Structure 1
Amino acid sequence: MAPTVHSAKITLSCPLFSAEFDPRNNGRLFVGGGGGEGRSGVGNKISLLDTSRRDEITEALELSLSRDEDSVTSLAAAPQAGDDEHSLVVLAGINSSVAEQKKNNNQHMRSFRFDAPQKIRSTSTEVGDEGDETENKEQQKEEVIPGKTESLSRASLFRFKSGADAGDCYQRVLRLSPWRKPKTDGDKSSSEPRIGAITTGLAKSGEIVFFSVTESPTESDVIGRIRLGANEEAEDVDFASLEFDPDQTTDARGRFRVAYTNGIDVMVGEVSSSTRSNAAPDVRCVYTIPLSSSGSRPKFRAVRFLSPTAILLLQNAPNRSGSELVLLKLPKTKDAQASVLRRRKLPRTVKIGLGLDVCALGTNPVGQQQTIIAASGSDNSINLWTVEYGPNRGYENIKSYTTLRDVHPFSMTKLCFSTFIAPRPSHHSRCASAKG
């Protein structure tokens, strides 16, 4: 019998291209999109959705953006160390107007602050007739404090040419390193520093920019750049923290392993949050898709770390002939290549895999781990799997959990999990999808 999966749906006023949960609260989902510049009747916006109920999604807060600029193409939730529980920063990729781009001024990195609506409960005592204290009654009152939004900053981090010859280049991917819960409740200073990466889309020569995640990222926060070749772009990028990697012999706080793919190659390197440089980090190719006998190659669509030494990729076969998951084990030496640990084909109805995300369910005292995997397909389905890891046996087979069919009437543009926070037994993870 298939497991019960609770679901809810909401339809907003514009097509959506990006989505991410507040990593501290799986009842808050940020989505962004729009009709772009000058598209009559369809605005651009970022919305905060209340997903705290299993059977209902409501729009808690809406930030309307200029119709004279591009739509929201990517976003990330970036709570800062000093933020209150209801407040956080949202970073977004939004191109400046075409007129500004022709002036070589494309401020594509935007920063906003969202303060979620709050419900404040208080108790008052109603005194009985003639001051009789035995008839005093307590009344519960609830006050709703409206939410608010604030635009914080806009900046240009890419170094691509933004003038008349720039074409349709935009900020395609915005990915942050994993959020870690502070070591002690209420200790806002103990959270791990985070870094981020943005990649170009439709650029004549692709670029990846790494930056320190601040409230208002600027060029001074850049910690590294990778300039790709002509007509080469990063399909996806991901991070894994090295702080708890058992293979590290020194303090690795603030150090991250990064992986990205250009569709054919998988590149891996290390980035530190303490670096301030425009130099390229040291990355190397650990895996290349072999050329088939017919002369064609599959292509990687997405990449996610399962651990600092294991990477999961979504791979599409040529000519819309299917999709599969590929699990790689990273080499321990610089001159070695990654090895394929597991493969798992998506159902035949999936001609192309569209999106991939994973959610780690924590590690027990003996080092065993379980991870949930979600992949969206061209047949408007979301396939869910689990994969287990043990220190002695390694990664087991990728096992099917369930399939969600006909999730949207059109192709999905984004798929994401919320953060699973252990060990509270009441916590669980949510999965969100969006369509354009």
Structure 2
Amino acid sequence: MVVRTLPNAKITLSYPLWACDFDPHDANQLVVGGGGGAGRHGVGNKMTLLKLSSDGSREIENAGETELSGQEDSVATIAVGARRDSTSSTSKTVFAGINAAPDECKKGKSRHFRVFGLAQPARSAKNSGVTFSETARETLFASTDADTFQRRLRLSQPFEKLENNAAAAAAASSSQLGAVSTGFAQQSQIAIFDAPAAGPQRWKSRGRLQIPNEAMDLDVVQTGPDTYQLAYCDDYEIFTVDISRTDVSEPRCVYTLTSNDGPKARPSFKSIRYLSPGFVFAVANSPAGKGVLLHGYRLPEKDQERARLAVVKTLPKSVSRSTGLAVRNLAPPSSVQDKQGDSQYVIAVSGQDNSISLYTLEYKSTLNIDLLVDLAPFAKIDSVHPQAITGLSFSTSPKGPKPAANLELKLASVSLGQTAVVHSIPLKKYVDKKAAPRKGGPPRPARYVVAIPSQGESHLSLIIVTAAICLLMALIGQTFMEAKGISQPVLGTNRFLPESWTVPFRVVPREGSVLKQTTFDDLLTTVTPAEHEKIIVRHDDTGEIGPDGLPQLKAHVHDEELHGPAKPWDELETREQHLWRQRLKKTGHWVEDMGETVFKGVLFGEIGGAIGAMVGEAL
């Protein structure tokens, strides 16, 4: 994959960022959110509206932000709703996931689902201030578990227009459907809600699903005037749920990941997105950080059928784990009644090395046959952020006639390092010359594609050269083995070689190297406390991710103001002890035979909130 430098703009805010989403009607407005969570650590919880320059200067400005309660958790998820009147940019609806204060969570009263109105004055107004106002906070999950938080939030993509018929008019009050899923819940759930585009209507719950395993990711697509489909993945399976105005079906498993090398070698799903009502795209991580798989699936049309793999690709070996996914259709249908035609999709995958890999995927539609072809890379952006990437979002694709200078797709990414970066991907108009022109009819339709050429599959010349090199190496190897008596004569080349070259030699086996593991005691010896001081084991403040996909562990002399609250082993809750045991096992610091006495006298930092979510995902 070619490493490229794309035009970009960067801004550093005052808090770690966990989520971002573009305004679906304005590619120059981006909402971000995050924070330090609950506690007296001096890092606030905030949401910010960022504005990108439209004059080509590649600048980002902080247009306004809101300071949220420091007693509650940070902003974990964000989605910006569509507006009925897309020409009006003075108000927006922002949906967010924010866990309540720890005391409220322990009472089972976490009103995690928040709705904000984002108002900004018209361009002609004298006042240029942007205001966030909370309009709703509710509990969508039927759970009183103190550890439950809102892990995922997705809205269905809005259509450009609604057809003038009765069915569309009936659906006009709820042009988007949203879904949220639990994290760390004893009983995993997915809650579904209507997201009105505008007017006096408020969001409305459409029910909830009890699912056996936690959803790693989910997405929603509109399939009719008032019908939708939800897709979600847990570690190893993909499920779909059909949703109508009056009914929500039970989840149906349509695909299960398997491995020929046994269950321990089986990859696990990380992310999933709809391409169209008939296809989904998923990212899976191989175990032990051994690589990232990109899969496109054709969804079944009948209940008895299973999804089928349509395209497969593997990320470069330098990317051992994926941390996020974003997908954008460059030629979406303008209404729900229209069929998806030929189109190009842009796919972004973030990795544990703070890189972003960019791919294009072609969607071909001929008669009643739809195909996914040519999943190919066109750029890899290295070291996008100083710390782990936590969110990705594409702007909506351009519509209508635009000057060539403005043909671009924006990709936003945010990180724990308080940075937001927006890259610009150049686009161009494309006319399919293979399409037969209609006599007396309109010209061939034009659509947008990425202007940077993708790296296609290997060409014939490369295959021939590679095959020739392999054949030459095989001949040299066989000649060498015959000369040294390792192999029976096949080529008979010994008679042409000097006698000194044909003396057999004895092969001495080489001893394998022994890898040294760092134990829990080794970790403690990195610090030397005084007589009355205690050691704390906690995750690194920088958020740096190790090769195993987990935040790195550090030992320190405990300072409550610097490190926050900590507890000895016996005072940890059962869930916290379980997470710490699994965390230490994962990196080889501890095994069952050591017992828990090695933990005596040591303080342990908090493993909840955002860090807990990252550890839980990696485990």
Q: Same fold (TM over 0.5)?
A: yes
Structure 1 counterpart of 2:383: 406
Q: Confirm or deny that 1:289 pairs with 2:278.
A: no
The structure 2 residue matched to 1:420, chosen from 397, 415, 429, is 397
Map residues 157-306 of structure 1 onto 2, 5 A cutoff.
157-162=140-145, 166=146, 168-183=147-162, 193-214=175-196, 221-229=204-212, 232-242=213-223, 252-272=224-244, 274-275=245-246, 281-296=249-264, 297-306=266-275
- Give the conservation status (yes or no) of the 8 Å contact 2:107–2:144: no
Q: Secondary structure at the match of 1:198?
A: strand
Give how far 1:144 is off. Answer: 4.9
Q: Secondary structure at the match of 2:214?
A: coil
Q: Secondary structure at the match of 2:288?
A: helix
Q: Secondary structure at the match of 1:326?
A: strand
Post-superposition Cα deviations, 1:224-247, rounded to whole Å, max 9, x if no partner, equal 311122xx20011111221xxxxx
Map residues 358-397 of structure 1 onto 2, 5 A cutoff.
358-362=327-331, 367-392=341-366, 394-397=371-374
* 1:220 to 1:180, Cα distance in 2 relative to 1, 3 A: closer
The structure 1 residue matched to 2:111, chosen from 84, 107, 111, is 107
The structure 1 residue matched to 2:92, chosen from 88, 91, 98, is 88
Q: Secondary structure at the match of 2:408?
A: coil
Q: Percent identity?
A: 34
Cα distance in 2 for partners of 1:330, 1:343 equals 15
- Give the conservation status (yes or no) of the 8 Å contact 1:60–1:117: no
Q: Considering fraction of residues, name the structure with more helix.
A: 2
- Give the conservation status (yes or no) of the 8 Å contact 1:352–1:377: yes
Structure 1 counterpart of 2:570: none
Counterpart AA for 2:98: I
* 1:191 to 1:205, Cα distance in 2 relative to 1, 3 A: closer
Give how far 1:96 is off. Answer: 1.1
Give how far 1:119 is off. Answer: 2.7
- Give the conservation status (yes or no) of the 8 Å contact 2:5–2:381: no
Give how far 1:191 is off. Answer: 8.0
Structure 2 counterpart of 1:32: 33
Q: Confirm or deny that 1:335 pairs with 2:335.
A: no
Q: Secondary structure at the match of 1:396?
A: strand
Give how far 1:4 is off. Answer: 6.0
Q: Confirm or deny that 1:76 pairs with 2:56.
A: no
Gaps of 5+ in 1: 122-142, 243-251
Counterpart AA for 1:195: L
Post-superposition Cα deviations, 1:199-232, rounded to whole Å, max 9, x if no partner, equal 0111122110011114899998221311122xx2
- The structure with the larger Rg is 2
Counterpart AA for 1:174: L
Structure 2 counterpart of 1:326: 295
Counterpart AA for 2:46: K
Give me the TM-score of the superposition, normalised by structure 2.
0.60
CA-atom RMSD in angstroms: 2.7
Post-superposition Cα deviations, 1:43-95, rounded to whole Å, max 9, x if no partner, equal 00000001234521111010110101111111110144368422111111111
Give how far 1:182 is off. Answer: 3.3
Cα distance in 1 for partners of 2:158, 2:137 equals 23
Counterpart AA for 1:238: D
Cα distance in 1 for partners of 2:67, 2:201 equals 23
Cα distance in 1 for partners of 2:149, 2:208 equals 16
Gaps of 5+ in 2: 164-168, 334-338, 417-619
Cα distance in 2 for partners of 1:428, 1:409 equals 26
Counterpart AA for 1:148: T
Cα distance in 1 for partners of 2:332, 2:13 equals 38
Post-superposition Cα deviations, 1:281-340, rounded to whole Å, max 9, x if no partner, equal 232111000143233210010001111111100010011000020011111211111111
Cα distance in 2 for partners of 1:281, 1:52 equals 45
- Give the conservation status (yes or no) of the 8 Å contact 1:211–1:223: yes
- Give the conservation status (yes or no) of the 8 Å contact 1:412–1:434: yes
Structure 2 counterpart of 1:245: none
- Give the conservation status (yes or no) of the 8 Å contact 1:418–1:429: yes
Q: Confirm or deny that 1:432 pairs with 2:412.
A: yes
Post-superposition Cα deviations, 1:89-119, rounded to whole Å, max 9, x if no partner, equal 1111111111122232111111111113543
* 1:363 to 1:65, Cα distance in 2 relative to 1, 3 A: closer
Q: Greater shift after overlay, 2-11 or 303-312?
A: 2-11
Work out the number of aligned pairs and report it. 394
Give how far 1:160 is off. Answer: 1.1
Q: Secondary structure at the match of 2:10?
A: coil
Counterpart AA for 1:207: Q
Q: Confirm or deny that 1:12 pairs with 2:13.
A: yes
Q: Secondary structure at the match of 1:335?
A: coil
Structure 2 counterpart of 1:135: none
Give me the TM-score of the superposition, normalised by structure 1.
0.84
Structure 2 counterpart of 1:21: 22
Post-superposition Cα deviations, 1:325-381, rounded to whole Å, max 9, x if no partner, equal 001111121111111111111111000011111110115999211111110011111
- Give the conservation status (yes or no) of the 8 Å contact 2:95–2:113: yes
- Give the conservation status (yes or no) of the 8 Å contact 1:261–1:303: yes
- Give the conservation status (yes or no) of the 8 Å contact 1:115–1:148: yes
Q: Secondary structure at the match of 1:30?
A: strand
Cα distance in 2 for partners of 1:356, 1:39 equals 33
Q: Secondary structure at the match of 1:10?
A: strand
- Give the conservation status (yes or no) of the 8 Å contact 2:174–2:194: no
Q: Secondary structure at the match of 1:119?
A: coil
Counterpart AA for 2:219: D
Cα distance in 2 for partners of 1:145, 1:95 equals 31
Counterpart AA for 1:241: Q
Q: Secondary structure at the match of 1:391?
A: strand
Give how far 1:39 is off. Answer: 3.5
* 1:367 to 1:219, Cα distance in 2 relative to 1, 3 A: closer
The structure 1 residue matched to 2:280, chosen from 294, 304, 311, is 311
* 1:111 to 1:360, Cα distance in 2 relative to 1, 3 A: same
Q: Considering fraction of residues, name the structure with more strand.
A: 1
- Give the conservation status (yes or no) of the 8 Å contact 1:118–1:146: no
